[in-house]
Amino acid sequence: MLKFTQYLSEATGGYIHFPKNSEEVDALDFVPDGKKDALKDLLKTIQTNKSGVPDPIAMDASNPNNVKVMRTIALDFDLKALTKTSGFKVSAGNGSRGGGGSKSKGFAFEDQIIQDVDRYISQGPDAEFQFPDMMSKMHDAFLKDATSIAVRSDGAANTKRPLTVTDASMLIGGRDLNVGPRVTDVTVTADGKPYYLSAKFGGTVTFFNVGVGKIFTAKQFEDGKFTDRSALNILKAFGIDEKEFIEIFTSYDPRAAKKASKKKRVDVTRKVNKKALQQMLLTGVGYGYWMVHQKGKKVEFYEMTKRRMMQSAKVQSVTILYPEPGSAKRLDIEVLTPRYEFKINIRNKQGGLYPSHIMADYKYRT
């Protein structure tokens, strides 16, 4: 049986190498020894300016002179300048990290889940699985007594869940919290009952990603004041200062973005519209599915029940990280709940200036 890393290389190819330190750069056999020091310097420069991202670059063994910088941070760098100083062709791109590209590691992970279930169907619970712990839990949860089992890939059919904002609420995809059929990547059917699996890949992944380009329009930024009710309600829900928010984007200077800068941390827990914020998290997380999260060699497998959903969305603290004026064109917000540390950011995903999306990444707390 192929090891998971071998499977990824043979199945996907492409930008699948994500060095995090000098030792891992030295281990990249496809990078000439004479260029490894320059690659180490490039990696250090990006990590120093974005210390919260351990693996900000991606490389392809067939294109050793090309370096992709993670899209979420690439906008804060002068990529042409990095190209000139490093000797590598530096561009924006997630490579094949989870969710990035049609041949991503995330899709490879979904394929491996399906292959393991297929092995279970044909060989039973004692088969040699790629993820034995996951299959053991799946067996105990809903497979052990089933007489008929089927599995299919549903990732491409994920339903869009738009953001709806009113004076009293923020909802992602409406009020229905039973979101299993809408978020499933792999669906396992046991004796006619579907079990929805949401596959996540990597250390930090996204729970929801909603468009706000029609809410935070360029004209309002240029006028220095928001008149859209939804925009004002979003700012209120997160406890964001309107003037500081506008200044982040209108004062953005690519030259300043190249320099390391500290962010001002502001605890806004007492200022937020907690009801609206919790509604956003509740509808963004939802229930009625099984979370399958691959991190390194470990796979988390658990049911997102109503109780876990409620614990996931119970807001304990909210901190805004205001960048120095001119240094970034995004706003980051940390929201702590009993289950997760949410990293919410408001930014433009298409390379523009003004915000187009609100994204919520997460890390486990318990």
Mean predicted confidence (pLDDT) in 119-126: 95
Confidence grade of residue 277 (pLDDT, cut at 50, 70, 90): very high
pLDDT digits (tens, 9 = 90+) for 314-364: 999 999 999 998 888 999 999 999 999 999 999 988 778 999 999 999 888
Q: Which of 67, 92, 117 is the last residue of a domain?
A: 92
Q: What are phi and psi of 348, to 5 degrees?
A: -100, 125
Tokens (6 digits) for 272: 């937020």
Q: What type of residue sits at position 56?
A: P
Number of domains forming the structure of the chain: 2
Query: Quick one: which of 303, 357, 294, 366 has its CA closest to 138?
Result: 303
How high is the pLDDT of residue 3? Answer: 37
Please report whether residue 83 resides in a domain.
Answer: yes
220 in the same domain as 86? no
Look up the pTM and report it.
Answer: 0.70
- Whether 266 is in a domain gets the answer yes
pLDDT of residue 18: 87
DSSP for 213-278 reads TTTS-HHHHHHTS---HHHHHHHHHHT--HHHHHHHHHT--HHHHTS----EEEE-TTTS-HHHHH
Residues 211 and 346 both lie in one domain = yes
Rg (CA), the chain: 22
* Domain stop point among 38, 62, 92: 92
* Side chain identity, residue 38: A
Mean pLDDT of 111-129: 94
Residue 240 has a pLDDT of 98
Say whether both 83 and 219 belong to one domain: no
**Is pLDDT of 244 > 70?**
yes
Q: What is the pLDDT of residue 156?
A: 56
pLDDT band with cut points at 50, 70 and 90 for residue 102 = very low
Containing structural domain, residue 273: 206-284+308-364
71 lies in some domain: yes
